[in-house]
Every structure is written in structure tokens, then in C-alpha cells.
Amino acid sequence: MSLRPIATLLLAALLAGCAAQPGLSPRGIDELVADAMREFSVPGVAVGVVKDGAVVHAAGYGVRELGLEEPVDTETLFRVASTSKAFTAASLAMLVDDGKLGWDDKVVDHIPGFALYDPWVTKEFTVADLLTHRSGLVSGAGDLMLWPKPNAFTREDIIHGLRYFKADSDFRTEYAYDNLLYIVAGELVPAVTGVAWEDFVDEQILARLGAEHCFAGRIPTNAMQNLAAPHAIIEGELQVVERNRASPDVDVAAAAGGVRCSLGDMLEWTRVQLARGTLADGSVLFSEAQSDKMWSPHTILGVSEEAFKRNRTNFRAYALGWRLADVHGYKEVSHTGSYTGWRAKVTLVPELDLGVVVLLNASASDARAAITEGIVKSYMGFKDVDSVAYFARDDEPAAMDETEEAEPAPNFQDGSVAAPVSSYVGRYRDAWFGDVSIELRGDELWFESDKSPRMLGRLWPYEDHTFYAYWTDRTLEADAWVNFELDDAGNVIRFGMVPVYDDSDWDLSDLDLQRLPDE
């Protein structure tokens, strides 16, 4: 019998097997990214895939900065925003492995100055609680101490300020996203080691990864060359958000969202995560037991009807620095990063030994989601997933009944208030935010913060004792109603603030600015 037909059959079977392998080809990823960049106005993207322990795709697309020619590549630095939280969780896991810390340790035993809204909650708050978004605070509480940059708040200010925030729900009952407590978590590192969080991550994690283009702490001058710039659509125009460029300096918020990293080094971080803490040389960064802990559900999240229909998702949870979900029967471990001008996402599918990293230099959440979903689902065996078209629908105006009218934008320039504008002038103080000046410039009333200088803007009279705060830096996208209160004698005694738009990312609810006596 001739061997030729057998060889032919074996070759045909091999080719058929190769053809059946899931996952987008490099060309398929290129096309997906190009579609997303075009649809969502993204100047630059870096995308990588780790499969079965190896990098199978790593590429930059577009330009680092709009109007310039320098291309994005695998060494371009991006701000990875809240995907930094996984580095914080890992640093604590390493200390747990070393016996220097326990997940159930009380925070006050390591940081005596830590205090929250209730003495019992303060006493019972554990290391794990810092990472799980179940503190009882409102979502985004105190973020004004972090952003906009630059500002004068320190980590000590943040720890002290936490005691002034009111509870929004009972402790450990509801999910509410938090950044400040991740900064407290980072401060556990120096509390038990004497080494700053950023130095620990740079030396004990990134250096051991061999990451030469990834920084938790200060970036050396020679590494400040290949930088992406942040972009956002501000008042209808795509532009660079100057205040959020990658800085060489140590970020106060580093443990919550301050890591700057290249695609190549994020892929190595992803590979180690999938290897459950084992480095390429066989040494252990953190144990498999700690990997299990970081990937175990701690705070239950809701599941939307849309998520079930599209992804057959039955559960979602927050772990330690990671979100969890089941997607078409697979456990998905992921986290997004969002900071004005930047978007990032790291997605792990352990059963497929798959990791996907997407970094963008634009505030384009839909582009991030479309690219990630298109790649991940291709490895789950789905073909022709038009994820760009699906997420592009979010950009379309919602259908409106002919009898409905769109809510008009506030016509704040035509208002008037119930007292002379000079009566609101003065110095005001909030226990955690510090001092604010309300002053007259000519016949205009202006708001100026001592510790957050970018919160500078004109207060336009609106009605009663309410003004519209119109910030001079339009990239803040955070215009607010400023509501003054008067005592029985008609004297202005305090003011609070409320975002103008319901979808604002800014929480202003804890601000209580009390008027100081005139000097």
C-alpha cells in the first residue's frame, strides 16, 4: 500500500485542524482595530494577545498624538489607569505570602490614623475590605482629592479626609466603586516594609518581570521619549487633554490608577497572571493560593438583561483588583482603566489560557469594549462578531416619541439670583477639601479652590441662590450647580454643589463648604 495517500490525508487533517483553531488572525485584529479607531475617533491603540503562555500578537496602531507623525508601538507608554489596582492587590498578596500581612488584618492595626464614618466600621475594616468596593461610601467618594491634576492633596490628606465622608449604605452590603481606599491599601506597604508602594512595585514586581517600559514610581528622563498623549472629544472637538499627559513624577493616586506602562510589559504582566504568579524563569512572584484569593468573588455585582442576552452572563462579582464574570460558560477575569484621555483593559480567560490587553490614548470606552470583545469571543469559537457595530449603537441618539422634547441645556447666562452677587463673596472651608474663595472679578463672581487650582471658573447667576459653575478648563466636563444657603438673618453661611448632568463622573455630595468669618 502506498504511503502517499496516508500522508495526504494526514496533511489535510492537519490543515483542517489549523483552520479550525479559534482566534482572530493578525490581519483580523488589524481590521478590527482599524474599524474601531475609525468609528470611535481614536488616534492611537496598542493591542496584544497572550495564548498558552506565549505572546501571539502585539502591535501598535495609529499615532501617539493627534497632529504628529510618531507611531504607537509596543514600547509606547500609556497611563493604564485603574488596571493599576491589580498591581496593588498583587503587592499585598506578596506580603501575605511573606507573612507580613493578613487579608483579615484590621487596617487600624497597621495604619493607626485610618478612620471612617463610624467607629465600629473603622475597627472592623480589614485589608481585604480596602480592595472590594463595599465600604458603605458613595461611589467615587473623595475623588476630588485625586483629580483634576495637578493639585496639592497628599496621601496623608486622603487618609485623614476619609473620616468626613458620610455612609451611603451599610458596611459590606453594596458595591460602590472607590479609589481612595486603594490608596490606603498602597500605604500598607510602607507600613509593614518601610518601602513606598511605588518603589515596592517597581523593584519587587516590575523589575522581576523584566519590565523596562513600565513604572509605578518616577519615570527616568531617558524613558520619557515614547509617550502617548491623552485625547478626548471636548465640546465636539477631539483634542489633547494637556493636564493628563503621562508625568514622570510619582502620582499620589498611583495605587489606585497611576501606573504608566507599555503594551509589551503589560503583556508580560498578563502572562504572569495566567501562570498564577510564576515568572518566566520559574521563580514565584506570588503563590497560586494568593492568585485564587485575588480571583475569588468578594462583592456581588448585578447582571443586566443585556449582559445575559449577549454573553449568557449569570454572575458578576468584584474580587481583589479584578472583576469576575461568566461569559458563555467561561470564567472571565478583567479590569478596565478609565481616566480622561485614556482607556485600558486587561482581560483573562484562564480556561483558555488567554489574555488580551487593549490600551488607548482616547476617552473611547466603546472602542475599548469592541476591540476586547471581538478578540476574546473569537477565541471562544464565535465567528463574525461585529462588535464595533454593536458598541457603535451607543453613540446613536435614542429614539424619541414625536410628542417628546429633548431636555434643553441650562440657559445659565440669562439667570438672576435673589441677592447682590457681592453678598456671596468670601472664604469657605470644607473639612476634607479645604478652602475655596468666592470672589468678584469686576462684576463677575468666580470660584477658586486653594488645593485644586484647576477648579477655577465663573459662577453665572441662575435663580434664587443658585449659580452655574462654568470651569475655565473645559476638559473637566464637570460643570456644577452651586447652591448657597442663608441663615434667618439673610446672611450667606455655606454652599454645596451638585453636578449639572446626571451622568457626571464627579461626586460632589460630600462637599459642605462653610463660610469663614471675614478677616
Mean pLDDT of the chain: 92
Q: Please give the average per-residue pLDDT across 248-271, as a whole number.
A: 97
Q: Please give the average per-residue pLDDT across 134-138, as a whole number.
A: 96
**Residue 81: Cβ within 10 Å count:** 26
Cell of 125: 475594616
Instruction: Match 493628563 to its residue by C-alpha cell.
Output: 244
**Residue 136: Cβ within 10 Å count:** 22
| Fold agreement between 21-393 and 412-515 | no
What pLDDT score does 19 carry? 41
CATH number for the region 412-515 comes to 2.40.128.50
What pLDDT score does 401 carry? 35
Backbone angles phi, psi at 337, to 5 degrees: -130, 130
Has domain 21-393 been given CATH number 2.40.30.10?
A: no
What pLDDT score does 235 carry? 86
Q: Please give the average per-residue pLDDT across 244-270, as a whole number.
A: 96
Q: Are 160 and 113 in contact (CB under 8 A)?
A: yes
Angle subtended at Cα 453 by Cα 116 and Cα 78, rounded to the nearest 5 degrees: 80
**Residue 270: Cβ within 10 Å count:** 22
Q: For 185-219, what is each residue's pLDDT tens digit?
A: 999 999 999 999 999 999 999 999 999 999 999 99
Q: How far apart are CA 142 and CA 433, in angstroms?
A: 8
What pLDDT score does 162 carry? 97
Contacts of 413 (CB under 8 A, 6+ apart): 460
For the whole model, what pTM was predicted? 0.92
**Strands across the sheet containing 78-79:** 78-79, 260-261, 214-215
What pLDDT score does 7 carry? 38
Cell of 387: 462588535
- Taking each helix axis from N to C terminus, what angle separates 263-274 and 85-97, rounded to the nearest 10 degrees? 40
Q: Please give the average per-residue pLDDT across 242-262, as a whole number.
A: 95
pLDDT of 455 > 90? The answer is: yes
Q: How far apart are CA 330 and CA 318, in angstroms?
A: 16
Q: For 437-454, what is each residue's pLDDT tens digit?
A: 999 999 999 999 999 999
Q: For 348-380, what is each residue's pLDDT tens digit?
A: 999 999 999 999 999 999 999 999 999 999 999
Give the helix ranges, DSSP H, for 77-231.
85-97, 107-110, 119-124, 155-161, 180-193, 197-200, 207-209
Distances (CA, A) of 152 to 146, 160, 454: 9, 14, 11
Query: Which residue did the predictor score with more confidence, 509 or 255?
Result: 255
Angle subtended at Cα 298 by Cα 106 and Cα 373, rounded to the nearest 5 degrees: 135
User: pLDDT band for position 395 (50/70/90)?
Assistant: low
Q: For the chain, what are the domain ranges?
A: 21-393, 412-515
Percent of the chain whose predicted confidence (pLDDT) is above 70: 92
Q: How far apart are CA 283 and CA 288, in angstroms?
A: 12
Q: For 278-322, what is each residue's pLDDT tens digit?
A: 999 999 999 999 999 999 999 999 999 999 999 999 999 999 999
pLDDT of 412 > 90? The answer is: no
Cα 484 off chain centre by? 32
Cα 379 off chain centre by? 26
Q: Please give the average per-residue pLDDT across 117-130, as a whole number.
A: 98
Query: Where would I find the beta strands (DSSP E) of 329-430?
Result: 330-339, 342-349, 354-360, 426-430
User: pLDDT band for position 501 (50/70/90)?
Assistant: confident
Amino acid (one-letter) located at 455:
M
Cis preceding-peptide flag for 230 (omega within 30 of 0):
no
Of 184-193, 337-346, 469-478, 497-506, least confident by mean pLDDT is 497-506
Cα 429 off chain centre by? 29
**Strands across the sheet containing 342-349:** 54-62, 44-51, 354-360, 342-349, 330-339, 323-327, 316-318, 299-301
DSSP string, 138-167: PTTTTGGGT-SSS----HHHHHHHGGGSPP
Q: Are 351 and 377 in contact (CB under 8 A)?
A: no
In three state form, how does the secondary structure of 438-479 look?
EEEECCEEEEEECCCCCCEEEEEEEECCEEEEEECCHHHCCC
Query: Which residue did the predictor score with more confidence, 126 or 19?
Result: 126
Q: How far apart are CA 80 and CA 325, in angstroms?
A: 21
pLDDT of 237 > 80? The answer is: yes
Q: How far apart are CA 290 and CA 278, in angstroms?
A: 12
Q: How far apart are CA 357 and CA 306, in angstroms?
A: 24
